[in-house]
Structure 1
């Protein structure tokens, strides 16, 4: 913190109105929601990724249809994207004929409101992608998976962008919440599950990964895996058979490959004994 500037201060987004309408509408894929939510559940630290899609100026709508989870250096307070991941994401988007339309990151246990640092990053991206007509078709998404004060087991999402006006302090552009709808007539994509499996492999040995066998809240029998499944299920809008098959695959994936091994459990037990004896 320098003077009154605190980059980690959360700023509640404003809302667009009829007098100050949003520059475009946002429509998001079910598969995008699934992968962002899944990624956010894997670690106690913040995660980050990029979003691909299309902006249609004639209809003033952005469609977000693809997620590229990125590698990052993360603490409990901030998350920095690995530059190589951003380059790789751009290459994948180009191969798929997609535009670079947004980024996402998690606030693991606290409100999905952007920090001043988040707003600065978002503003830089928007300015980078500003069109000749002044529109900046680039959004941010914040996912909060583990806020135990939130009654629901479904993760909270904040779609947002930097407005054209500045905060009263003059330090940053005012954030605005973006309403979003969901793409219609979608199917669960095999690639989505494949990306989930890749994330499990990547985070399997991460020292800050979430233990899915632990209970989510005290005095409740719901595990973190149960909580994940409930949250993912809330995004699925396909036939019951397809949904059940997909959820069963995810549960099997997490049960088999995302639990602490015996050595880790033994180490934690030994550390606890040492603490007690000391």
Structure 2
């Protein structure tokens, strides 16, 4: 009797061979945590009695790699259009935590038109294993099911670099490349988006967002595949106001008492007089500025502001679990 191949559901809810999932995990390194520890290592006094041993590898998973830009010689494999709803939720999620946040992107891909439409962003819970942050598998499955109920396919993921450039780390590149390969088996596309709300080098109130894929080109030193970023177009249809409001309520409830929560009443940058909440509202206002009905947009922003003012607290209570992969408040708000 022939042995039957064991079939399981992948994190996206699809049936597949169990061997296809061996060794897979949706993870990326916390750039902030690694940067801090690397600086600590540099500051440690060396021991003169020992000769330093040469390192086996110069691989630094923290290293941020600037994305290449598509050109006439290497054109975009497809266009990327992002709905206002997805931009709003990613910005809201990224702004409230000094830890890296993570989530899934849902939408559709048109092969004839070569267009990826990002229609929704679904925040997920994250786990930490020391220096690595990864998506909680239960939350990941729930998010993919939520997107499926709305008629969307999982077409990517997003995460934040709270106080760093929105460039992928070497581990981000590895994670993105693996999932591109996994999804391409069925002809699907898979993009990555990085949101940087509090980049120290960016005094403007607007978040920096990078949308990327990993190419087959190899870096000059042969250590990684080259990332390329898209010129993203914003879709003009109105978001589902009620849905965004409920996602905001969930985000506030999750992060309001966490030790990683951003103090939304504090000034976000030394060269600005805006608080973190005011900065967030400016980001949302910019996203909504292309909408035709400005009155509805302003009413929505007022409701979001009132929700934060009435429900959000930035000081954790005793016994509240700390968010993982954090960067300290002083380090963030410089």
1:275 aligned partner: none
1:8 is aligned to 62
| Pairing 1:52–2:106 present | yes
Matches within 5 A, 1:7-86: 7-74=61-128, 78-86=132-140
State whether structure 2 residue 278 is matched by structure 1 residue 223.
no
CA deviation after TM superposition for structure 1 residue 262, in Å: 9.5
Aligned residue for 1:119? 173
Distance across 1 between alignment mates of 2:170 and 2:188: 19
Equivalent position to 2:164, from 110, 115, 122 = 110
Structure 2 CA distance for partners of 1:245 and 1:74, relative to 1, 3 Å = farther
What CA deviation, in whole Å up to 9, does each residue of 1:194-237 have, x standing for no partner? 11111111112211101111111237432111111111111003
1:246 to 279, 289, 300: 300
Report the equivalent of 1:150: 202
SS in 1 for 2:156: strand
Unpaired runs of 5+ residues, structure 1, are 265-278
3-state SS of paired residue (2:173): helix
Matches within 5 A, 1:158-177: 158-177=210-229
| C-alpha spacing 1:115/1:140, structure 2 compared with 1 (3 Å) | same
2:317 matches 1:260? no
| Mapped partners of 1:108, 1:166: distance in 2 | 28
Runs of 4+ in 1 over 6 A off after TM superposition: none
Q: Which has the larger radius of gyration?
A: 2
Q: Distance in 1 between matches of 2:233 and 2:154?
A: 19
Q: State the 1:263 CA deviation.
A: 6.5
Per the TM alignment, residue 18 of structure 1 is displaced from its structure 2 partner at its CA by 1.3
Q: 1:123-134 counterparts in 2 under 5 A?
A: 123-131=177-185
RMSD value, Cα: 2.1
TM-score between both structures, scaled by the size of structure 2: 0.74
Task: Pick from 230, 234, 241 the counterpart of residue 182 of structure 1.
Answer: 234
Structure 2 portions without partners, runs of 5+: 1-54, 319-334
Query: Are the aligned partners of 2:106 and 2:152 in contact in 1 as well (CA < 8 Å)?
Result: yes
Q: For residues 83-128 of structure 1, what are the alpha-carbon distances to aligned partners after superposition, in whole Å with 9 as ceiling and x for unaligned?
A: 1111112211222221110100000001000000000000011001
TM-score when scaled to structure 1? 0.88
How far apart, in 2, do the equivalents of 1:76 and 1:214 lie? 29
